[in-house]
Amino acid sequence: MIIHSASQLLTLAGGPQRGTALGDLGIIEDGSIAVADGNILAVGSTDEIQRRYQANQAIDASGSVVLPGFVDPHTHLIFAGDRAAEFEMRIAGASYMEIMDAGGGIISTVEQTRAASIESLVTQARLRINRMIAHGTTTAEAKTGYGLELEAELKMLQAILLLNEEGPIELTPTFLGAHALPPEHADAGQEGYEAYTVEIVEQMLPAVKRWWENETSEKNLPFVDVFCETGAFNLDQSRRILSCAKKIGFPLKIHADEFDGLGGTGMAVELGAASADHLVQTPPEDIAALGQSDTVAVALPCTPFGLAEREYTPAKSIIEAGGLLALATDLNPGTAWCESMQMAIALACRYMELTPAQAIAASTINAAAAI
């Protein structure tokens, strides 16, 4: 098959892009792609490709831009139910804790997800995936984190694997057992977080590794992620979880500096994490460290937009420091129910002052580097 006569073909050749190189789209005017058995054989000008290849099928892309599929490197794809009622509560001025007290918040999703069967989780996630594909996403990361107990977390991992087998989207799994405090510990405050940290380190991480190796044919272990934030896992607890995960072979990610700059980004760089995500309040010294590392800074503009916040990830500072910047949706039922990377791109251009070319690179080649 040949896709030919594209007004612009964006190749984004050459690997992840740093600093002033971000936004080099590798544009071929009047471009064409030769494809066989689902693999790209060659890209080039229409004259060149039509001269080199005979096509049994041709798609005329005249007047169109052809580019790689979007990669969404941060989603909470697997969950049951919804929290639509919280939107009006938030508009009316309800705080996060007031929403929690009214029976909403993350624990509401945890309860619904624990009660759901694997079949139900797959069915609900499939609808979200269809919308992701419609908006141009072909690869995505998918987290657990709405189980907060071993059995429910493994159920979520199983749902991700089943969806991956179905295709056509390719999913990269992440174990986010350290997402929040389970309802069983809800009244224990930091003592509860400490007890749950010990449980994750001593029981859950080894069990997830055993299950993965025994139950799947996947060679690579899933990522391990932690929500490091004031009111969640503190820096010490996050370090213990991630250090244990790294020691037994898991690759790492982290939710860091969304509301407070606790040092999670610097720790991610130190531990060699694949990505540090959110980074709204990351201090300058940690932004500088990103510029000297291969840890990808993943900005999630749909989240501050959904929360009506005025601060976004300091994308320009990350770029100026030479960091690797990526974009993601943060698809989740509470703060950013958005399956569209195009929406994330639009918000990044409007509120983070990225150029369209920079946002496209951050949503494709750099986003791929984050997973």
> What is the distance between the alpha carbons of residues 79 and 82, in angstroms, rounded to a whole number?
8
- Pick from 251, 297, 261, 250: nearest CA to 277: 297
50 lies in the same domain as 77:
no
Domain boundary among 19, 43, 66: 66
81 lies in the same domain as 34:
no
Contacts of 295 (CB under 8 A, 6+ apart): 265, 268, 269, 272, 273, 274, 275, 276, 324
Whole-model pTM: value is 0.96
Domain limits for position 91: 70-369
Characterise 66 by phi-psi region: left (phi > 0), alpha (psi -120 to 50), beta (else).
Answer: beta
> What is the distance between the alpha carbons of residues 252 and 242, in angstroms, rounded to a whole number?
7
pLDDT at 97: 67
Domain boundary among 21, 51, 66: 66
53 lies in the same domain as 184:
no
32 lies in the same domain as 107:
no
49 lies in the same domain as 125:
no
281 lies in the same domain as 359:
yes
215 lies in the same domain as 263:
yes
Q: Give how many domains the chain has, as a whole number.
A: 2
> What is the distance between the alpha carbons of residues 160 and 170, in angstroms, rounded to a whole number?
10
Cis ω for the linkage preceding 68 (within 30 of 0): no
> What is the distance between the alpha carbons of residues 324 and 316, in angstroms, rounded to a whole number?
11
177 lies in the same domain as 266:
yes
60 lies in the same domain as 166:
no
pLDDT at 10: 99
Q: For position 87, which CATH number holds? A: 3.20.20.140
pLDDT at 195: 97
Characterise 253 by phi-psi region: left (phi > 0), alpha (psi -120 to 50), beta (else).
Answer: beta
Contacts of 272 (CB under 8 A, 6+ apart): 246, 252, 293, 294, 295
Residues of the chain with pLDDT under 50: none
What tens digit of pLDDT does each residue of 285-327 get? 999 999 999 999 999 999 999 988 999 999 999 999 999 999 9
What tens digit of pLDDT does each residue of 74-124 get? 999 999 999 988 888 988 988 776 887 787 888 899 999 999 999 999 999
Rg of the chain over all Cα atoms, to the nearest angstrom: 21
pLDDT at 190: 86
175 lies in the same domain as 53:
no
For 227-246, letters b (16+ CB in 10 Å) and e give bbbeebbbeebbbbbbebbe
Q: For position 55, which CATH number holds? A: 2.30.40.10
- The answer to whether 133 touches 70, Cβ cutoff 8 Å, is no
Q: Measure Cα distances from 107 to 97, 180, 184, 284, 341 in Å.
A: 11, 9, 10, 34, 27
Domain boundary among 66, 95, 119: 66
204 lies in the same domain as 96:
yes
175 lies in the same domain as 215:
yes
In Å, how far from its chain's centre is CA 332? Answer: 11
The residue type found at 35 is V
pLDDT at 101: 74
Task: Write phi, then psi, for 44 (nearest 5 degrees).
Answer: 170, -165
User: 18 pairs with which residues across the strands?
Assistant: 324
pLDDT at 248: 98
